[in-house]
Amino acid sequence: MIEVPKATELKDLFSLKGKVVIVTGASGPTGIGTEAARGCAEFGADLAITYNSRAEGAEKNAKEMSEKYGVKVKAYKCQVGDYAQCEKLVQDVIKDFGKVDVFIANAGKTADNGILDATVEQWKEVVETDLTGTFNCARAVGLHFRERKTGSLIITSSMSGHIANFPQEQTSYNVAKAGCIHLAKSLANEWRDFARVNSISPGYIDTGLSDFVPQDIQKLWHSMIPMGRDAKATELKGAYVYFASDASSYCTGSDLLIDGGYCVRSNPATPPPTMSAPKQETFGNLGPWAEPSWFSSLASPYYNASHKKLRNTIRAYVDEHIKPHMLEWEEAGGAPHSERLKWAQTGFSFTDIPTAYRPGNVPGPAGIPVDQLDVFHLMIMTDEMSRIEGGVATSLEGASVIGAPPIVHYGTEEQKRKWLPGLFSWETSFCLGITEPGGGSDVANLQTTATKTPDGKSYIVNGYKKWITGIPWATHMTTAVRTGGPGASGLSLLVIPVSSPGLTHRRIPNSGQKAGGASFVELDNVRVPVENLIGPENGGFPIIMRNFNRERFIMSISCNRKARTCLSHSFAYASTRHTFGKPLIANQIIASKLATIARYVESHWAWLEQLAFHIQASPKGWQDPSIAGQIALSKVHGGRILELAAREAQQVFGGAGYQKGGGPGAVVEQISRDLRMMVVGGGSEEIIADLAVRQEVGLAKRRGWKL
């Protein structure tokens, strides 16, 4: 029987003076094992710490703890997956220290895939370290505990033993850690007469081991943690001291979750809390379906305080500085340079440019650091900018939103430092040169050629590009060229200075988007340095296609907002316009038109949110090949909704919806001219709908679909 401790005061119960503690996996500078050892040393314990491969780290930790806390500390080599080494460790510690009072089994190994993608050897490696290794430690020290009739075994498990983590797949790790939790409970019963056994299940801990995980995945983790952050390893050491000390003398078989509340939300055995009626917030146009539902009516899991801050800030700027001049700038063919510069300095543009390439005087949008932005922030910025008509938004930020991402994601370090910082002062500005007179959506068959010079230092580019948005203000055109044979495998991506001799461009007089600057471009023996090649030669097609994901997603959001604008303007007009003695909206046929547009707009927005969530959760983000078809189809659907919304809005407005330049239907009339670019740009719906079908069939077959 485990006796009641003689001490009664907390300072004595928590004291570890005279105790000998073994801690496995304590060779790192800031890991869980290292902090557990420091905590025990701080309370007076002598320590045996182990390492597998980092001898220098363990020796350094031993020296530092011994000198700082005045206790005996020695480092030992031990690979816990080998029982003989664990047995030798315990024997050596008994020889050097005289006994073992506490054993902290902390050494472990993570997994980075599921069982279908892992080999049998990878499964064994994780399970043998995390579960079999814990068994080895327990058996080796348990014999000593039984002989002395006292001892405390503390097992480091994980919250992953309680849940299946998302989005990462790590089945072997989850299973092993669940086994550790049950091993502690089983041993607590088996060893009830002579030793206590408990486990600690940490959540996400900032030890540096997860630094390789993409920032968007780490942001997703934080969004699922009620406390909103990772733990520091120092926040765990108190738990180890508690279980090691006599303060926990009546505690055995326990598992202590230290996860910031993660499992409260994630454990399916825990029912979701009953939602009391939240405080109703309102924002923007309070008319029916005039804004996304999360603004004023429905609760949403996707948006937090930073999203609302961004929305409020950009809405105020657009309403004060842009919308009053929208029709004037559209008629002039673009916003003044001073306004473009002012816009760039707000930080609302180029949010995908990493901090390393941003000037220090340019904040993130609404003061939010860019590394804290997610796909829902992009949705908000695009949605708010889409309240600006006539191509004015394009003239404000140029076409860098589609021309710069290839440099951001595929450019060399030298290219990034050369071109990206200048975006915020308009020293550089990009457009995207893909479409040609002979074809647009059929990218694989473009004809513009780039031939390398005999000295290998330059490309000579010849060809034509058409409907190139933003080139009147651009300094560079990110250009698709043919450097190899026919088809997709012969394409490359070159950054061509717009000022290059032989490059000329002229505006195309389109019916809408006058301020968007769509132009015809001629390339006549244009010399481009080979250093301006983005990615590998003949490797441009995948870059172009993946760049389309973001472009089409943005266009789909824009279609949704412009359709919503048609709906809200129609609602307001139909509610105030009287015919035959009653408001237009009192006619059932008018109400039916508005209801139809509303159900399309709202369901499409929900689809966009679902896509945003997937992109945010996917380790590959925008480069996830499985989303291209979904995004393409959402863009097709958005274009169809916009066409219907503009048509029905003009029917509601009657002649006022056809009047250009002013009057109650002026915005609807503007949208009716602008929308064709939204439908055709980024790939015609006929071709990208076919892309969606082909990709979905391929994905279905890979999932195991059979007819």
Q: For residue 620, which amino acid is it?
A: K
Strand partners of residue 519:
468, 507
Q: Comparing C-alpha atoms, which of 553, 561, 554, 517 is closest to residue 388?
A: 561
Sort strands 231-232 and 205-206 into parallel, antiparallel or unpaired. Answer: parallel
**Is the separation of the CB atoms in 365 and 314 below 8 Å?**
yes
Q: In whole angstroms, what is the distance from residue 683 CA to residue 676 CA? A: 12
- Name the DSSP letter for residue 704: T
SS3 292: coil
**Is the separation of the CB atoms in 480 and 540 below 8 Å?**
yes
Q: Residue 413, exposed/middle/buried by CB under 10 A (0-12, 13-18, 19+)?
A: exposed
Q: In whole angstroms, what is the distance from residue 102 CA to residue 142 CA? A: 10
Sort strands 152-156 and 102-105 into parallel, antiparallel or unpaired. Answer: parallel
- Name the DSSP letter for residue 2: P
Q: Comparing C-alpha atoms, which of 353, 371, 360, 342 is closest to residue 420?
A: 353
E-assigned strands of 515-559? Answer: 519-529, 533-534
Residues 6+ apart with CB under 8 A from 593: 570, 648, 651, 652
Residues involved in catalysis: 158, 173, 177
Q: Reply yes or no: is the peptide bond before residue 167 cis, omega within 30 of 0.
A: yes
Q: In whole angstroms, what is the distance from residue 91 CA to residue 99 CA? A: 9
Q: In whole angstroms, what is the distance from residue 316 CA to residue 314 CA? A: 5
- Name the DSSP letter for residue 99: -
C-alpha to C-alpha distances, 182 to 71, 126, 252, 254, 516, nearest whole angstrom = 34, 17, 12, 10, 64
Q: In whole angstroms, what is the distance from residue 168 CA to residue 618 CA? A: 9
- Per-residue burial over 498-509, b = 16 or more CB atoms within 10 Å of its CB, e = otherwise: bebeebebeeee
**Is the separation of the CB atoms in 633 and 697 below 8 Å?**
no
Q: What does the block give as tokens for 547?
A: 């760049």
Q: Comparing C-alpha atoms, which of 90, 80, 85, 44 is closest to residue 65?
A: 44
Residues 6+ apart with CB under 8 A from 204: 210, 221, 225, 230, 231, 259, 260, 262
Torsion from C-alpha of 631, 636, 638, 639, nearest 10 degrees: 140
**Is the separation of the CB atoms in 201 and 161 below 8 Å?**
yes
